[in-house]
Structure 1
Amino acid sequence: MNLTWLDADSRAEAYQFYHQFMPYARLTKKELLGVFFAGNLSEKKIIAAVRLRPIGEYQLLTGMLVHPEYRGQGLAHQLMFNLQRTLNTKPSFLFSLPELTSFYQQHRFFENSEITMEQSPKIPAEITQLYKRYVSKGKQLYLMQYQP
């Protein structure tokens, strides 16, 4: 399955997809937004999506979402596989729910405590501040970094 990157003017269906299945998500035009489509050209629908949010010279993987009817078919793994080239372009991070850390570890994301100082001497302040803001709201999240 191929990941299709949507430009800022072609996202109406993606906004509806997120609104339906992840209503708290706040999409911005600055983010890269990639989707998997199912169906034929005239009746294609989004079945999975992922966003990469630019933060200074870094990027934050966020909003990975698979349509409930398509879960359990490996689409999240396919999304991650399709993201590898993009993740290699600049330092990449994500904030993982506890139950998803092992999934992300399968795709070369590691918790800060698992990364040696040679691999990552310091988590950037921009990422750390955003992470602390989420955690201060009571969310249990793990800060993970991509290691190519």
Structure 2
Amino acid sequence: MPYARISRKEQIALLINDVETLSPDSGIKAKQINDDQHTCHYDSDIKAKQIIAAIRLRPIGEFNLLIGMLVHPDHRGKGIGHQVLNGIADKLLSNETYLFALPHLVGFYQNHGFSQDIQAPNDIQQLFDKYTSQDKDLVMMGYIQINN
């Protein structure tokens, strides 16, 4: 998860456990809290141990950069990443949403409508160049279709 301070302009989706303790054997009882009916106020009392997954959309000019997607290690391999991306699908805009994927996650993001075959706008390209000049192995991808 990026450790930069979160801007009020950013959109954040959390998948949280409704019960106080997380147990991998108990099954996941979670809710998404970033839709219109479950918007979470910025000073809400969500405890870190309740967070199963998180994702951030940061505005970069008129575009969005999907950053900080994270699934708790105890819950990986259960389709939760797919659930989170499907949950924010209405926030993903074709030719306006980008991400910098780790190489082993390219196929995952392709399953959700992202492609490497894009021409990124200058603001996004400059940010990508900044990150990759720091020896970070990343793949730029852009959202090009609505996932059905």
State whether TM-score is above 0.5.
yes
Match of 1:123 in 2: 120
**C-alpha displacement at 1:43, in angstroms?**
8.7
Contact 2:71 2:80 in 1 (8 A): yes
Match of 2:13 in 1: 34
> What's the secondary structure of 1:133's corresponding residue?
helix
> What's the secondary structure of 2:15's corresponding residue?
strand
Q: What is the percentage of aligned positions where both structures have the same residue? A: 42
Match of 1:58 in 2: 63
Query: Runs (4+) of structure 1 moved beyond 2 Å?
Result: 39-44
Alpha-carbon distance in structure 1 between the residues aligned to 2:104 and 2:46: 34
How many residues are matched?
A: 118
Summarize deviations over 1:91-128 as a string: whole Å, max 9, x none.
100001110001000000000xx34xxxxxx4211000
Pick from 69, 72, 77: which aligns with 1:72? 77
**C-alpha displacement at 1:88, in angstroms?**
2.7
Contact 2:95 2:144 in 1 (8 A): no
Contact 1:31 1:51 in 2 (8 A): yes
Question: Which residues of structure 1 form unaligned runs of 5+?
Answer: 1-21, 116-121
**C-alpha displacement at 1:58, in angstroms?**
0.2
What is the CA RMSD across the aligned residues, in angstroms?
2.2
| TM-score using structure 1 length | 0.73
| TM-score using structure 2 length | 0.73
> What's the secondary structure of 1:95's corresponding residue?
strand
Alpha-carbon distance in structure 2 between the residues aligned to 1:82 and 1:131: 26
1:142 aligns with 2:139: yes
Alpha-carbon distance in structure 2 between the residues aligned to 1:36 and 1:76: 10
In structure 2, do the counterparts of structure 1 residues 145 and 89 end up closer, same or farther at CA, with 3 Å as the change threshold?
A: closer
> What's the secondary structure of 1:140's corresponding residue?
coil
